[in-house]
Structure 1
Amino acid sequence: MRFTHFRPPVINIAFGTFYRHHPGASSIHPNPALFTNLNFTLPCTTDPSTHWYIVGPSLSGKTTFLQILRGEHLCFPPAARSYPYLSTDEVPHRLRVPHKAIQYVGFDNDGLSSSVTTSAYLSARYESKRENTDFSLRDFLLGNTELNPLKRSHEDGFDRVLFDRVVRELKLAQLLDLPVTFLSNGQGRRARIARALLSTPEVLLLDEPFMGLDPPTVAGLSPLLHRLASRAKPRLILSARPQDPIPDWITHLVYLRGDCQVAAIGEKEVVLAKLRQYVRQVWSGTSKEEDNLSVHSLLQLGRTLTAKGIDGEPLMGEKSLKTSESPFAQDFDVPRNIGEPVVEMDGCKVQYRGKVALGNWKQNIGGEEQEGLVWTVRRGERWGIFGPNGSGKTTIVSLICSDHPQTYSLPIKLFGRSRLPEVGSGQLPLTFWDIQARIGHSSPEIHQHMPRNLTVRQVVANAWADTFRSKAVLDEQAKEKVEACLRWFEAELNPAYAKASKLGSDVQESSDLQWADHYMFGELSFSAQRVALFLRAIIKNPDIVVLDEACSGMDDGVRNRCLLFLEHGETKTYAKHDNGSETIVESDASKSGTVKVGGLSDNQALICISHIREEIPDCIREWICLPEANSGLPARFGVSVAPLGRDEKSWRQIWGM
């Protein structure tokens, strides 16, 4: 008889109930139980290997679940959560505590730099290296980011082989000498994963690792994570939204309800079958929809992420794609009123130390070749900007918003005027404040710089402020708009929202908004923070609305509600039916004539950046796709013949997939 050495589990939770604060302590904040009677075991080794995926809609507690696995939050009884394997001789001494052995990597825009080096303004990312505190990517990966570092322990030795392999596999070799502030969002994400891997943890928790990455990068990152998971160095646990595709190598799922409880846990196919049966029972009327297990959130679950891209149909097949009527599918071909130019780029080329970051190509304009980016945006147009991570999408946004220092030296006109005085024009140059007042902007950079100690109301009202921390000056109409937005999105913004969040109901009640003055921006969930910044960008009807990954981090229900509000304001809403499906209907506010916030007008231009097809507003028609950085290929332009969010063929053509 052959005996195998028993190895205890890395994480073992048996009937544990968790709390943010001690249940016996008095507090004005709600303190509901988290994941009551939770059972979860992460084995040290299994044959075949098991790979876990934590899935759930916004506010379902995905990040909280990962934090619990790492040892955070109070556990009752205390012995219900243990880490037996970390006490064995197989684990290095430095990894025998959970917060060292279990590394968490989230992508909530805390930035790559330490608090010492975090820049205070958006343009910092685009300037040349100025201070010794502007650490390079190499320094970041090696942990050399302290101004006065302590002497390292002998256990923290440098593993050159591991460093080279991680840098090579995550495609960071060409970026090692760049300051971390120069990295694009996708490059920064790979850098944070690389740094966690270099600490050689026993477990790596990745909170929505594919969010904000372009489709080719996602398809390449998934096999890399699979190789790491297969070697169990480290063991991986990933989280995702319901609409995100599930990597084909995932074996086990945890699906979370909207109230921080587990709806289903176990082998992937078993969990999907259970959820599919639940949806069918609700649709057939044999079962009622549970308050915290939305059928609508489940419909997009189940697609597969392979090395070649996204494959397969969602949980309930094509029917799931028809549950929400598109407000623009019926009138996509209606003629529009296109007005004067608001952005004119006449051969823009951005470069740092001789290296071209944007515009390293020639465009054919009127039969003649012209170097750099040539692009015009007019009032009434709805543009999508696409391209791989690092291709220059956010750089374009920084030029439009005048956050980029090179804006002053490039051939750019905004609202028909230059940034510098023009001889003989008789026009004064545009100031930075003129431009900021006419552009609404939401992006990961805005998210990173927004002060966490502002209240929810202050963040939304910040649209009328000159800077992030200056006081907003609001007239009576502006105050009404702020209150209307807070009421309309109370279910998404108020952490203590008591009633069941039903997207089909109008928020017309004259409830007080004390919660908006009570909760700080930093206390909100990642999804709620994104909603607040989205509202800040559109609330004052600016001449140009710029949405750079504005909906990333939202589940599909919250995202659809935001995109509908972008197009129609308070005039349209979702009506939810007994079978879980939704349709768009005229709101009570529209019927009663009490609309305070309308949708996009012909006088406005929209510019949207996203790597996720469903996050593209249905009204987007014009598009530009930037090439891989320094490939020499020109940018491609086109006009969509159908809403991109619902036309996968056009979407694949844009990306060349």
Structure 2
Amino acid sequence: MRVPPPRPPVIRIANGTLYRHHPNGTHSHPNPPLFTNLSFELPSSGTPRNWCVVGPSLSGKTTFLQILRGQHLCFPPTARSFPYLATEFVPNRLRAPTSAIQYVGFDSGNAALGVAASQYLSARYESRREDTDFSLRDFLLGNMDFNSIRLPGEEGTDQKLLERVVVDLRLETLLDLPVAFLSNGQGRRARIARALLTSPEVLLLDEPFMGLDPPTVASLSPMLRSLADKASPRLVLGARPQDPLPEWITHLVYLRTDCQVGAMGEKDAVLKGLRMYVRGVWEGGLVEDEHLPVRALGEMGRTLTEKGIEGDGLSEEIVNGAAGDGRDQQAAEPSATKGDPLVEMSGCAVKYGDKVVLGGWSEENDGKKLDGLHWTIRQGERWGVFGPNGSGKTTIVSLLCSDHPQTYSLPIKLFGRSRLPEIGSGELPLTFWDIQSRIGHSSPEIHQYMPRRLTVRQVLESAWADTFLSKPTLDDFAAGQVDATLQWFAHELNPDFSSTEAAAAGGKSLEWATEYMFGELSFSAQRILLFLRAIIKHPEIVVLDEAFSGMDEAVRDKCMLWLAHGEAKTYTSGFSKSGSGKHSPMEASIVESSASQSGNVRVTGLSEKQALICISHIKEEVPDCVREWICLPEANTGLPARFGRLDGPLRTDSKRWREIWAVGRQQ
């Protein structure tokens, strides 16, 4: 019996060097190689290889996935090829890599759903619909072009595939909604569904579980596994080191912070090598590679299974019995004394026609029947807002920030005043601009609408402006706060940061902040910048909606420390030693900064007069200071919102997390 010859690989990169721009061209910014001497191969047949590309912030995960699709320049050009796509096994419509290899990333918000980026923030909540407000069904079927003409040979969407994908991704009840109405998590599921409906040869998913609630993650991972097992399509994921790896992942690429491959191969072999490296540094026999930070590897290696997240990562045997990582010191215990009410919701229910999206419940309180959402936020309180995707978390934020048109008609008071004139009060109603000036807000929606042409400095300074593009009003103190923040986060925000050059310049040169635009930053750096913009002016209310998603553990913890203490505290550099004399890479002590020692702190952390509202689906991304919480029910269940109070940080106790989500197993 004749054995058929092996099929060529779908993607083959053999010792290629990749550039963003042509290396011989003239460019306004430096153009270093993205990856040097890169080799990678994705087979088209045989046992499926399910790859995951893992790396900390600024390591090039997204760039790596884009390279697999044919983006960026490869030298020599023949080093990258897609031989399988030229075979008879692939239909004509999938011969081009951009068609056969679909990429789903989450750095462009609803713009990828056909929602115009020129819309203003509150447009998604308005009842009037435009001709371009396509439904989710239209988006999935590709019916988003006027007078569209199907080319000869093009086939329509497979109806059975559509039905299966819609069910698997829990989109059945959303099909007739305009895509502008979708929540952040719903929009991400919709983009994955649309990519699957094109029946690609390869599907690149950049952090597919980011921003999804635990129940959705639990249902999405098995669905992806079924695709991976059949290699239809072949899957390549992108993930941060702290993200749990789906158990069906077979191969890993671990990227260094200098955009080089640190390790590549079978998952178990890569994890074993990284574990030996971590232990070698821990034992003191190895010197830590500055481009392979040990702290970023602490939580890597946890597994996402059908029963939840299992394992403690590479640091399990290291941190057992150790002193800990010092992160409990990120925030002082919240004050028990609460101030005046900042937000008062007295029975809010948001409806679009007959559809109730928030507050569609009744409950008994002291013998009284209360309809809708009743919630008060006071000065000094630190709230966590939780709930499934589509439960109304983003709607709550829109009410707080007064972006939602129904804010005028609902029983809401902000800063003790109503949006409408109150008879006999003698006070003028709050204006939209009054409210915006007193609230700091970071969210995927802000990320979507932030103009990409603003410079890094302009994004921060826009915290003192009425709109993103209007001229800010800064005094000398505010300008000093901007400078201090840029200096503190230069490593994370400056694409060309060099510790050597920074030391030579005394760390004071900030020219890069006026040269680089927001759109030129990595997704992680953009999230950091929006987080800093939300808190830099010390607003009365800080709203952080998935503000830390897309950041690796080390960068996230740095932002958390800044939120709590500003310039006053910092992490110690290097390693401390335990009683046994071993180096402890996990013990990152928090100490007084040089700015605090010199009495030159310009940016402080949260004050007792400020309120914090944090929305997240990951307990590690909830600041340690959060104590009060509200968990919204799944839409249209009629169940009321649940309230509670934590006795400590969420990050350090899974029982607290399970109590909020009312589940019996770890999520």
**Shorter-chain TM band:** over 0.9
Q: CA deviation at 1:509?
A: 3.7
2:547 matches 1:537: no
Q: CA deviation at 1:37?
A: 1.6
Percent identity over the alignment is: 64
Structure 1 residues 116 and 620, CA, compared in 2 at 3 Å: closer, same or farther? closer
The Cα offsets for residues 595-633 of structure 1, whole Å up to 9 and x where unpaired, read as: 100000011000000011111001000000111111111
2:561 matches 1:564: yes
Comparing 16-25 and 535-544, the one that deviates more: 16-25
1:209 match: 208
Q: CA deviation at 1:318?
A: 6.6
Q: CA deviation at 1:354?
A: 1.0
**Aligned with 1:627 (options 622, 628, 633):** 633
Residue 652 of structure 2 aligns with an amino acid whose one-letter code is R
1:191 match: 190
Structure 1 residues 329 and 480, CA, compared in 2 at 3 Å: closer, same or farther? closer
The Cα offsets for residues 428-456 of structure 1, whole Å up to 9 and x where unpaired, read as: 11110110000000000000000000000
2:525 matches 1:519: no
2:573 match: 576
Q: How does 1:196-345 map to 2 (within 5 A)?
A: 196-317=195-316, 319-320=318-319, 323-328=324-329, 332=333, 335-345=335-345
Note the residue ranges of structure 1 that are not aligned, 5 or more in a row.
none
Structure 1 residues 142 and 501, CA, compared in 2 at 3 Å: closer, same or farther? farther
Residue 565 of structure 1 aligns with an amino acid whose one-letter code is W
The Cα offsets for residues 316-348 of structure 1, whole Å up to 9 and x where unpaired, read as: 11745964213548953x643310000000010
2:597 match: 591
* Distance in 2 of aligned mates of 1:212 and 1:576: 31
Comparing 543-552 and 425-434, the one that deviates more: 425-434
* Distance in 1 of aligned mates of 2:602 and 2:14: 51
Residue 631 of structure 1 aligns with an amino acid whose one-letter code is T
Structure 1 residues 194 and 116, CA, compared in 2 at 3 Å: closer, same or farther? closer
The Cα offsets for residues 354-381 of structure 1, whole Å up to 9 and x where unpaired, read as: 1110111123333312010000000000
The Cα offsets for residues 246-268 of structure 1, whole Å up to 9 and x where unpaired, read as: 00111111100001110001111
Residue 625 of structure 2 aligns with an amino acid whose one-letter code is C
**Aligned with 1:650 (options 643, 652, 656):** 656
Misfit runs of 4+, over 6 Å: none
Residue 221 of structure 2 aligns with an amino acid whose one-letter code is S
2:578 match: none
* Distance in 1 of aligned mates of 2:142 and 2:192: 13
Q: Is the 8 A contact 1:212 1:610 kept in 2?
A: yes
Q: CA deviation at 1:36?
A: 1.6
1:125 match: 124
The Cα offsets for residues 71-123 of structure 1, whole Å up to 9 and x where unpaired, read as: 11111221111111101011001111111111111101342456773452111
Residue 572 of structure 1 aligns with an amino acid whose one-letter code is K
* Distance in 1 of aligned mates of 2:394 and 2:278: 40
Q: Is the 8 A contact 1:216 1:309 kept in 2?
A: no
1:601 match: 607
Residue 620 of structure 1 aligns with an amino acid whose one-letter code is V
- The SS at the match of 2:40 is strand
2:67 match: 68
Comparing 621-630 and 123-132, the one that deviates more: 123-132
- The SS at the match of 2:626 is coil
Q: Is the 8 A contact 2:392 2:632 kept in 1?
A: yes
Q: Is the 8 A contact 1:460 1:482 kept in 2?
A: yes
* Distance in 2 of aligned mates of 1:520 and 1:330: 32
Q: How does 1:454-473 map to 2 (within 5 A)?
A: 454-473=454-473
Q: CA deviation at 1:557?
A: 0.7
Q: Is the 8 A contact 2:541 2:610 kept in 1?
A: yes
* Distance in 2 of aligned mates of 1:233 and 1:572: 50
Q: How does 1:500-519 map to 2 (within 5 A)?
A: 509-519=506-516
1:375 match: 375
Q: Is the 8 A contact 2:19 2:72 kept in 1?
A: yes
Q: Is the 8 A contact 1:133 1:147 kept in 2?
A: no
The Cα offsets for residues 17-64 of structure 1, whole Å up to 9 and x where unpaired, read as: 1111222223342222222221211111222x2211110001100011
The Cα offsets for residues 479-514 of structure 1, whole Å up to 9 and x where unpaired, read as: 111111111100010000011799xx9x99452211
- The SS at the match of 2:63 is helix
- The SS at the match of 2:564 is helix
Q: Is the 8 A contact 1:112 1:180 kept in 2?
A: no
- The SS at the match of 1:156 is coil
2:180 match: 181
* Distance in 2 of aligned mates of 1:266 and 1:342: 53
* Distance in 2 of aligned mates of 1:319 and 1:214: 30
2:148 match: 149
* Distance in 1 of aligned mates of 2:150 and 2:286: 63
2:175 matches 1:169: no
* Distance in 1 of aligned mates of 2:208 and 2:172: 20
* Distance in 1 of aligned mates of 2:232 and 2:331: 51
Structure 1 residues 116 and 414, CA, compared in 2 at 3 Å: closer, same or farther? closer
1:80 match: 79
Q: Is the 8 A contact 2:335 2:608 kept in 1?
A: no
Comparing 354-363 and 182-191, the one that deviates more: 354-363
Comparing 264-273 and 335-344, the one that deviates more: 335-344
- In the superposition, the TM-score normalised over structure 2's length comes to 0.95
Q: Is the 8 A contact 1:491 1:501 kept in 2?
A: no
Q: CA deviation at 1:4?
A: 3.7
Q: Is the 8 A contact 1:329 1:642 kept in 2?
A: no
Structure 1 residues 198 and 77, CA, compared in 2 at 3 Å: closer, same or farther? same
Q: CA deviation at 1:136?
A: 0.6
2:580 match: none
Q: Is the 8 A contact 1:481 1:539 kept in 2?
A: yes
Root mean square deviation of aligned Cα: 1.9
Note the residue ranges of structure 2 that are not aligned, 5 or more in a row.
576-582
Q: Is the 8 A contact 2:157 2:197 kept in 1?
A: no
The Cα offsets for residues 217-273 of structure 1, whole Å up to 9 and x where unpaired, read as: 111110011111111111110000000000011111110000111000111110000
Q: Is the 8 A contact 2:329 2:590 kept in 1?
A: no
The Cα offsets for residues 445-478 of structure 1, whole Å up to 9 and x where unpaired, read as: 0000000000000000110110111111111111
1:420 match: 420
Q: How does 1:546-561 map to 2 (within 5 A)?
A: 546-561=543-558
1:429 match: 429
Residue 656 of structure 2 aligns with an amino acid whose one-letter code is S
* Distance in 2 of aligned mates of 1:209 and 1:20: 25
**Aligned with 2:618 (options 606, 612, 615):** 612
* Distance in 2 of aligned mates of 1:387 and 1:238: 26
* Distance in 2 of aligned mates of 1:364 and 1:571: 46
Structure 1 residues 404 and 444, CA, compared in 2 at 3 Å: closer, same or farther? same
Q: Is the 8 A contact 1:344 1:412 kept in 2?
A: yes
Structure 1 residues 500 and 338, CA, compared in 2 at 3 Å: closer, same or farther? farther
Residue 131 of structure 1 aligns with an amino acid whose one-letter code is E
Structure 1 residues 335 and 517, CA, compared in 2 at 3 Å: closer, same or farther? closer
2:525 match: 528
1:136 match: 135
